[in-house]
Structure 1
Amino acid sequence: MTVAHLSRARTAARVIERCRQIAALTEVPGETTRLFLSPPARRVHTLVTEWMQAASMSVRIDAAGNLRGVLPGPTAHAPRLILGSHLDTVPNAGAFDGVLGVVLGIAVAEELRGQSLPFAIEVIGFSEEEGVRFSTPFIGSLAVIGKLDAEALARTDRNGVTIAEAIRIFGLNLSDLPNAQLAASSFAYLELHIEQGPLLESEGLPLGIVEAIAGQTRMSFVFEGRANHAGTTPMHLRRDALAAAAQWITAVEVYANEHDGLVATVGRIDAQPGAGNVVAARVTASLDVRHASDNARTAAVRALVSAAELAAAKRGVTLSTQTHLEQSAVPMDPHLTRLLESAAKKSNTPTRKMPSGAGHDAMIVAQRLPAAMLFLRSPGGISHHPDETVLPGDVEAALNTAIEFLSLLRDDKTIPKDDHA
């Protein structure tokens, strides 16, 4: 083992340990739960600030609660590369979702400090991505692209506290929100993140290169039949809303299995009146459809609505639907993606190109900057769960690939020039 390899292996072990240190900072003893601007977020800021400063970074917390460390470039106006991910969690989370990307970003800065780079590096720990506290995601990344608007700031949590009030309670100045926007010199964004799924593990691969973040459609379906006695109502005279929903749910699974790259999920169902001896009168069910192609996703939604209509009509049941989310797919920047692929090859790391089925801050930042994403294998395909973990060798491979990516970026002719140099 070379000295350089041994050093990177030690860095990878330190990255994992730091993620576990952050996981211990929680609202709920015995689990990792850390929502937007909750008290443990302040302790995370203190801890991560220490690591950033030790890496020779200047540190600030912006008005949306994003923690930001900058490793300066050759001049104050040098082009700026952004590395980032989020520091909040879902309830009872694992230690690596989001957090790993922030800690790896700091590790990259540690490795490259003192080297002659033509650009600055800014590592952002976004304050919110999961959408748990206020039932709306991406508060942190929306702020950095200037799209955290008045409507969003007025959203309330279960205690009636608005996002604007939460920002003030945390001790931040809402009038400084414009200063949360990315520096005008920012030219690219890279996010390192666990896959949160089983694909890479199933193929024995440590890393994946994200080509696009899948678009999402989220809907609710209401099947309306008629309640009646389970013992006295003949089968052919029933208007069974639950039987109609069950036929449709099976059709959803069959359709998704027949179309590559599509995932479709009925994750919630509520049957009323909900008694074992009563034919169900009303069923409400959710539908979540995702694909990296918007055309494929919208075609799937049309087909699945038609399947629901057929299932309802067969049983004399009425159907109504409501769309709650229509999120277009977000392609990653082709040039940065090619550089990331080359960086993985230079670091002798096998990868595959893949879509992301989950949403990430990269899909928001991509509205402002060219963006790329690198996935790390999730052992067991587990995420949003205390058993979520990473392999030390995969963390080392991600670190090697990220540093090779920055090396390629240093010589890339597409980087904007520093007019003040």
Structure 2
Amino acid sequence: MEALQKCIHAERMIGRIEALAQCSQPGRGVTRLSFTEQSEQAILLVAGWMEEAGMKVRRDAVNNLIGRYEGMDPDAPVLLIGSHLDSVAEAGKYDGILGVIAGIEVVHAIKESGTITKNPIEVIAFCDEEGTRFHTTFLGSRAIAGTLREPDLEAQDHEGITVAQAMRAVGSDPEQYRRAARDPQTILGYLELHIEQGPVLEEMGQSCGVVAGIAGQSRYEFRVEGQAGHAGTVPVRFRRDALAGAAEMIQAVERIALKNESVVATVGKLAVLPGASNVIPGVVEGTLDVRSLQDDVKQSTLLELIEEFRQIAQRRSLACHFRRVMDSPAVACSEPFVLAIETVMEERGMKPLRLVSGAGHDAMAVAAITDIGMIFVRCREGVSHHPDEYASPEDIMEGTTVLMNAVLRLTTYSR
């Protein structure tokens, strides 16, 4: 173990993270959307690093980048390590990227130390986890899990370009997307290292934690309809102000979510129409996001919120409509994988701290076909999806070491 740990180089990982941060649209932070010039630049860099680590590199049918390192038994089930290369708009440097770079570093260390694992290892850099461009999350990981569907390829970006058209632009054939699906019998499991995107590890004073599960998520769009009117001539008592109604609805979201600690609920986007300073808002369009590790609690909270919205609308003589955008169930990490990570953490003098991920990850999609495990790495002040996102070299080193030791434990035994 010591010889292997000496082969992990934080400086190399930090240099690669910084290099990938340059693969971005101009502007603040990192903006790297799927199937763009910037994502292609990132793929070429990562492919080179995979080859340097001794992996055979390929792209699958949906443009996921995959590096394979053979084990003693090339026919044994493969252990997958992965995360994503795309970002939200004006993101930080570490979200997704850290997991890919750490996976490459683990394989690099195994190669440099002369260690040979029983099982092959594949590092996957998934495309389109965030869904920023097409509003479709987990495109790459769902393709590998075999749960991507043809209508998903017709989703459009703000310029009207479909996923299928964007795939063709980078040399992929969207008609072959089913070929990306993997046979569950050929997979040992999946590991993902990711920044926590929350403040718990920093509060606990610990560099790493093990993820117990990933919260289920329901995402809706809502539309509140009232009556636009002159801001100076319509008395307040006669108004059907869509924004005033939406404001009361947003307060209800906070109030209802506070009833249960396992629930988080967010109105993250609002559009006020017609959007003039001297016109009473006639329409408000917004988004509602509800998450919990307990699917029944999530569903009951969602139903309560929808009913509350409708009661507020009725009382104010407004109309309120909902459209479901996404509904994903909670995913529990596999107990053998959780225990393996906890054992490694205890061996390294850390508490086996179990965390719940409120954010979605590629692991959620991959869980449809295999066991999953996740490691969280502390990030400063819990900030993520922001240019100030930061994980220290020391924490990155520790997280990668935990990942490597977990890989060695899991590949020691066949399923």
Segments of 5+ residues of structure 2 without an aligned counterpart are none
Correspondence for 1:389: 390
- Whether the 8 Å contact between 2:117 and 2:412 is mirrored in structure 1 is no
Amino acid at match of 1:182: R
Amino acid at match of 1:284: E
Query: CA offsets per residue over residues 162-198 of structure 1, 9 Å max, x none?
Result: 3333333222355654543336421100000111222
Correspondence for 1:419: none
With the length of structure 2 as denominator, give the TM-score of the two structures. Answer: 0.91
Correspondence for 2:300: 299
Q: Percent identity?
A: 38
Correspondence for 1:89: 87
Amino acid at match of 1:149: R
- Whether the 8 Å contact between 1:205 and 1:351 is mirrored in structure 2 is no
Correspondence for 2:18: 20
Correspondence for 2:135: 135
Q: 1:153 to 1:247 in 2, by over 3 A?
A: closer
CA RMSD of aligned residues (A): 2.5
- Whether the 8 Å contact between 1:347 and 1:404 is mirrored in structure 2 is no
Q: How many residues align?
A: 412
- Whether the 8 Å contact between 1:229 and 1:278 is mirrored in structure 2 is yes
Distance of 1:279 and 1:41 partners within structure 2:
43
- Tell me, what secondary structure is at the counterpart of 2:209? strand
Matches within 5 A, 1:283-298: 283-298=284-299
- Whether the 8 Å contact between 1:221 and 1:284 is mirrored in structure 2 is yes
Measured after TM superposition, the shift of residue 382 of structure 1 is 1.6
- Whether the 8 Å contact between 1:346 and 1:404 is mirrored in structure 2 is no
Measured after TM superposition, the shift of residue 239 of structure 1 is 3.3
Correspondence for 2:76: 78
Distance of 1:3 and 1:208 partners within structure 2:
21
- Tell me, what secondary structure is at the counterpart of 2:353? strand
With the length of structure 1 as denominator, give the TM-score of the two structures. Answer: 0.89
Distance of 1:24 and 1:119 partners within structure 2:
34
Q: 1:275 to 1:89 in 2, by over 3 A?
A: closer
- Whether the 8 Å contact between 2:134 and 2:155 is mirrored in structure 1 is yes
- Tell me, what secondary structure is at the counterpart of 1:52? helix
Matches within 5 A, 1:224-373: 224-230=225-231, 233-373=234-374
Measured after TM superposition, the shift of residue 381 of structure 1 is 1.8
Correspondence for 1:7: 6
Matches within 5 A, 1:199-210: 199-210=200-211
Q: 1:316 to 1:362 in 2, by over 3 A?
A: same
- Whether the 8 Å contact between 2:340 and 2:409 is mirrored in structure 1 is yes
Amino acid at match of 2:10: A
Q: 1:151 to 1:191 in 2, by over 3 A?
A: same
Q: 1:62 aligned to 2:60?
A: yes
Distance of 1:158 and 1:240 partners within structure 2:
29
Distance of 1:228 and 1:149 partners within structure 2:
44
Amino acid at match of 1:242: L
Per mean C-alpha deviation after superposition, the further-off stretch among 348-357 and 125-134 is: 348-357
Distance of 2:240 and 2:330 partners within structure 1:
39
Query: CA offsets per residue over residues 20-68 of structure 1, 9 Å max, x none?
Result: 1111122436752222121233332332222222222111122211111
Q: 1:230 to 1:373 in 2, by over 3 A?
A: same
Correspondence for 1:181: 181
Amino acid at match of 1:404: N
Distance of 2:279 and 2:411 partners within structure 1:
69
Measured after TM superposition, the shift of residue 398 of structure 1 is 0.8
Measured after TM superposition, the shift of residue 336 of structure 1 is 1.2
Amino acid at match of 2:47: T
Distance of 1:333 and 1:133 partners within structure 2:
31
- Tell me, what secondary structure is at the counterpart of 2:325? strand
Amino acid at match of 2:104: I
Segments of 5+ residues of structure 1 without an aligned counterpart are 417-421
